[in-house]
Amino acid sequence: MSEKLTAKEYAEKLLYTPEYAADKQADVKEKAAAFAEGYKKFMDSAKTEREAAVVSEQMLLAAGYKAFEPKKAYAPGEKVYFIQENKAVVAATIGQKPYEEGFRLVIAHIDCPRLDLRPNPLYESDHMSYFRTHYYGGVRKYQWATIPLAIHGVFTRADGSSVNFAIGEDENDPVFCITDLLPHLGAEQNERKLSEGIKGEELNVLIGSDTVEEEDVKEAVKLNTLILLNQKYGITERDFTRAEIEVVPAAKARDVGFDRSMIGAYGHDDRVCAYAELKAILDIEAAPEKTCVCILADKEETGSDGVSGMQSSAFECFMEELCDSQNVPLRRCFANSFCLSADVTAAFDPNFPEVSEKRNDAKLNYGMGICKFTGARGKSGTSDASAEVVAYLRKLFADNGVVWQMSELGKVDQGGGGTIAKYMANRNIDTIDAGVPVMSMHAPFEVVAKFDCFMTYLGVLAAYKA
Ligand code: MN
Ligand code: MN
């Protein structure tokens, strides 16, 4: 029966080569560009996890989501949400099927690498005032010097009231920075390893140089800075110990390239997936088949611990309370659930091909990157989705016009990493990682392709509607 094929025919039939996909679909490009406009706005108003939670809540409220009431039985199509400790977001759209048949979960994280202020940050040195910082997450420290920085955060006062603030984002605001040596005096510093180009203890943010008028005061610049802060926010030096203040790049999200095909911004990891997830759950029109849950977690960059991290029982507490209203054991619901862990993946960088595995790494404009497994050094700490789960997702994407690619994090033994996928998989939920490929991940200015952002949105939407 088998007919003899030519080599060319065999090649077409048998071989697989991932394809650059962005140029294949003309109207998708326009849709991707429109989607990117909304995303850039989101990014400019969500520079910290707290701000991302506030903006997400506004979007949810505008779409008719109501604050979750634990004992209440919800009907299909009802929309609920809750904010965990001001830093994480959970939203659910109730499905038609009973909870026993499982949820459709999509999880992302809204915390990003940055510089946090220490509890006693303010000091003066040689007539300049500074903030001392403790970096948060995987930061390449040298990247944070000599760029404009903004300061965002919250002070809680002795009376229990709190004040949120952000300085450095408005065009008329001042900005801040970490200084570096001039090349003329940098010879010795040049001999340092790149990881110590700027050391952790050198990440001190310059915040002032003016003094109070009376000359006889000790540390007059520091005092002057504090007087200004007191006038504006009513705080004293002591109040820094009751604060959470983050130093982030002051730049706004911008189109990148003459063709505007990419977006550069601080915090794509993982707000690019968080936004796609939020947009997708808001765009589910009728009551979905299964209950859709959107989780935007905090503390991924430091291991997902704590009350607002993915390991917190706050998230399953919410789902358990939902399940209780239908007398369904949470474990039963989890066993029948599916979770898409939407986190960014490292994109191949033609500038640094030596760390990549070109056959397996994600590329910009090749679509949403599915990551079957994570981990490092022999997949240690991996969450490895089964072949069946990959097959399920591939079919889902094929049925919904989602352009996707497989991805892995660079060469074996070059490095590695993990996501929050394992914390769901450990709860007996079938989970797989997929998300937007990013260049310069964790840098103050990361780059993604608009096409991939839009495909990730379509991918999440498909997962919700399945
Ligand atoms: Mn991430
Ligand atoms: Mn990260």
Q: Indicate whether 1 pLDDT > 70.
A: no
Please give all residues whose CB falls under 5 A of ion ligand 2, grouped by chain where several chains appear.
269
Among all bound ligands, the one having the nearest atom to the CA of 270 is 1
233/411 Cα distance (integer angstroms): 49
Distance (Å) from CA 165 to ligand 1 centroid: 25
Cα of 297 vs centre of ligand 1, distance in Å, is 11
- Describe the chain by its helix, strand, coil percentages, rounded to 5: 35, 25, 40
pTM above 0.85, yes or no: yes
Give the mean pLDDT of 356-374. Answer: 93
Query: How distant, in Å, are the alpha carbons of 59, 187, 191, 296 from that of 152?
Result: 21, 35, 34, 20
Measure the CA–CA gap between 376 and 418, rounded to whole angstroms. Answer: 8
Ligand 1 centre and the CA of 445: distance in Å?
A: 15
Q: Could you tell me the distance, in angstroms and rounded to a whole number, from the CA of residue 442 to the centre of ligand 2?
A: 6
Cα–Cα distance for residue pair 112/138, rounded to 1 Å: 9
Confidence class of residue 212 from pLDDT cuts 50, 70 and 90?
confident
For residue 332, report the distance from its CA to the centre of ligand 1, in Å: 29
Task: Indicate if the pLDDT at residue 252 is higher than 80.
Answer: yes
Q: Classify each residue of 270-292 as buried b or exposed e, where b means 16 or more C-beta atoms within 10 Å of its C-beta.
A: bbbbbbbbbbbbbebeebbebbb
C-alpha to C-alpha distance for 3 and 122, rounded to whole angstroms: 79
Q: Please give the average per-residue pLDDT across 170-184, as a whole number.
A: 97
Residue 175 has pLDDT above 60, yes or no: yes
Question: How many whole angstroms from 341 Cα to the centroid of ligand 2?
Answer: 13
pLDDT at res. 22: 80
d(CA 412, CA 407): 13
C-alpha of residue 285 to centroid of ligand 2, in Å: 32
Annotate 161-198 with b (16+ C-beta within 10 A) or e (fewer).
Answer: eeeeebbbbeeeeeebbbeeeeeeeeeeeeeeeeeebb
How far, in Å, is the centroid of ligand 1 from the Cα of 344?
Answer: 5
Ligand 2 midpoint to CA 222 (Å): 35
Residue 270: its H or E element: helix 268-282
78-97: average pLDDT: 98
Amino acid sitting at position 16: Y
CA distance 69 to 307: 20
With 0-12 CB in 10 A as exposed, 13-18 as middle and 19+ as buried, what is 33? middle
125 CA to middle of ligand 2, Å? 34
- Give the ligand with the smallest distance to the CA of 441: 2
Centroid of ligand 2 to alpha carbon of 176 (angstroms): 24
Mean pLDDT of the 284-303 span: 96
Give the chain's mean pLDDT: 95
* Least confident span in 185-189, 195-199, 214-218, 354-358: 214-218
How far is it, in rounded angstroms, from Cα 33 to Cα 97? Answer: 35
Q: Measured between alpha carbons, how far is 445 from 426 in angstroms, rounded to an integer?
A: 33
Q: Give the closest ligand to the alpha carbon of residue 110.
A: 1
- For residue 73, what pLDDT band results from cuts at 50, 70 and 90? very high
Looking at the CA of 113, name the nearest ligand: 2
Q: What angle do CA 26, 28, 31 make, to 5 degrees?
A: 120
For residue 157, the model assigns a pLDDT of: 82
**β strands within 137-242, DSSP E:** 149-156, 162-167, 205-208
How many CB atoms are located within 10 Å of the residue 132 CB? Answer: 16
Residue 341 has what pLDDT? 97
Residue 88: which pLDDT band, with cuts at 50, 70 and 90? very high
Ligand 2 centroid – CA 245 distance (Å): 20
463: phi then psi, degrees, rounded to nearest 5: -65, -40
How far apart, in Å, are the Cα atoms of 104 and each of 167, 194, 460, 461? 39, 43, 10, 10
pLDDT score, position 49: 98
- Residue whose C-alpha is closest to residue 64's, from 83, 79, 42, 53: 79
Q: Which ligand is nearest to the CA of 136?
A: 2
What separation in Å is there between the alpha carbon of 269 and the centre of ligand 2? 5
Q: Which pLDDT does position 2 carry in this prediction?
A: 66
**Sign (positive or negative) of CA dihedral 71, 72, 76, 78:** negative
- Average confidence (pLDDT) over 235-257: 95
**Ligand 1: centre distance to CA 94 (Å):** 27
Is the pLDDT score of 215 beyond 80? no
pLDDT band at 413 (very low <50, low <70, confident <90, very high): confident
Q: Which tokens hold the place of 5?
A: 């094929």
Does residue 150 carry a pLDDT above 70? Answer: yes
Q: Where are the beta strands (DSSP E) in 157-266?
A: 162-167, 205-208, 243-249, 254-256, 262-265
pLDDT class for 122, splitting at 50, 70, 90?
very high
**% pLDDT > 70, the chain:** 99
